[in-house]
Amino acid sequence: MKKGNKSNFSIKRTSTSPYFSTSFSQLEFDTIKKLTGVEILPSQSPSIVSALITNTHTDFSTISTEQLDACELLIHPNSGYDNFPCQFIANANFPIIIGNPIRAHAVTNFILSSLLSHYSSIPVESSWSASRSWPRKLLSEINILILGIGHIGTLLKKSLEPLVKEIRIYDPYAGFPDLDLRNIDVLIPACSLNKQNYHFINSAILSQLNEDFLLINAARGSLVKTEDLLSILATRPSAYAVLDVFEKEPADFQALYKKTHQLKLSSHIAGVYKNIDHSTAEFEAKVISDFFKLELNEFEKTYKTMNLKNRIIGTDFLI
């Protein structure tokens, strides 16, 4: 890992995601400048810089060899990294730090809200009901399977374990190799997308869940084979799916609702929240600050779970 001099360290952002506010670029510039003393150059600047800030729209094939040779640090303040070629990461001689902590709580909140509203949506009554009836299933009666035990999976497990009947984890890369689908009420993917789990949630998986299963997907759209999900929902009138991500985005909500109303759809917003602009800028500033403050081995240890180099298995597989 290269580590140059802070006095001539420079940064450039390749592009900005649309969910940020119009004032984000200035906020990002001011925050990084204030907390690190380093300036961000405009994305259109032709200058070769020391560090890059990317997003899910960055096309890494367009980054010049000269720029990559000069790069000391790459910050990708997103949870998803589908646009990173595995070979790019393997060949990079600089750390590539992803921003899982920025959205972990927001996505966890989204999943918990979806779960609670599905099983315990409070009925609105205009007058006193003599029957006092509420035929709901309690969380203490349900079994949940979480796919992935990263930042979000860990938060979900800690939050739900005291409330539900059973939490099961499937993550073959983190010591949870057994996929147990018996008597599962709720399936929650909390993992990245890779070539092994593409369309992992298909008819073969869904057909093994309980008749009134709930699927909550705020991870990656292509984890679910949408065609299979719609087919299963058609045969199981009590089953339901909450989808925030889709195989193709922007998704055609009307087309999906025409096929079934056993859906709740949202526009890839699970990780978006009021203070995301500040959280993103502060995360970037902290990574840059730590990059200079810590010894190389300390930096790599601190960002072990966020460094994409550590997510390569073999030579061409990214988890």
The predicted structure's pLDDT at residue 4: 60
Q: pLDDT: is 2 or 20 the higher one? A: 20
Let me know whether 111 and 217 are in one domain: yes
pLDDT tens digits for 3-36? 666 778 999 999 888 889 999 999 999 999 999 9
64 with 204, same domain: the answer is: no
* Whole-prediction pTM: 0.91
Query: Is 90 exceeded by the pLDDT of residue 44?
Result: no
Place of tokens 């599905």: 118
Domain that holds residue 55: 6-101+274-318
Task: Indicate the pLDDT class of residue 2, thresholds 50, 70 and 90.
Answer: low
β-bridge partners, 264: 242
Whether residues 61 and 183 fall in one domain: no
The amino acid occupying position 127 is: S
Q: How far is CA 133 from CA 33, 119, 125, 292, in A?
A: 59, 15, 12, 61
Q: Considering Cα of 75, then 80, then 84, then 87, what sign does the dihedral take? A: positive
pLDDT score at 5: 66
**Rounded Cα gap, residues 143 and 188, in angstroms:** 11
Same domain as 295, residue 201: no
In a domain, 1, yes or no: no
pLDDT on residue 137:
95
Q: What is the pLDDT of residues 179-220, one digit of tens each?
A: 999 999 999 999 999 888 999 999 999 999 999 999 999 999
- Rounded CA-CA distance 276/208 in Å is 38
Q: Is the pLDDT of residue 82 over 90?
A: no
Residues 6+ apart with CB under 8 A from 261: none
Q: How large a percentage of the chain has pLDDT more than 70? A: 98
- Are residues 61 and 109 both part of a single domain? no
Which bin fits 70, alpha (ψ -120 to 50), beta or left (φ > 0)? alpha
Q: Which amino acid, one-letter code, is at 104?
A: A
pLDDT of 8: 83
| pLDDT (0 to 100) of residue 222 | 97
Same domain, 152 and 217: yes
Are residues 115 and 244 located together in one domain of the fold? Answer: yes
- Tell me the mean pLDDT in the region 241-247: 98
Distance in angstroms (rounded) separating the CA atoms of residues 40 and 131: 63
- Please compute the mean of the pLDDT values over residues 156-181 and round it to a whole number: 97
Tell me, yes or no, whether 166 and 38 share the same domain: no
**249 and 117 share one domain:** yes
Same domain, 257 and 139: yes
Predicted confidence (pLDDT) at residue 252 exceeds the cutoff of 60: yes
Domain-embedded: residue 75:
yes
Residue that wins the pLDDT comparison between 92 and 316: 92
**Domains contained in the chain, number:** 2
Residue 183: inside a domain, yes or no? yes
For tokens 């970037």, what's the residue?
284
In 3D space, the residue among 216, 212, 208 whose CA is nearest the CA of residue 187 turns out to be 216
pLDDT (0 to 100) of residue 19: 87
213 in Cβ contact with 185 (< 8 Å): yes
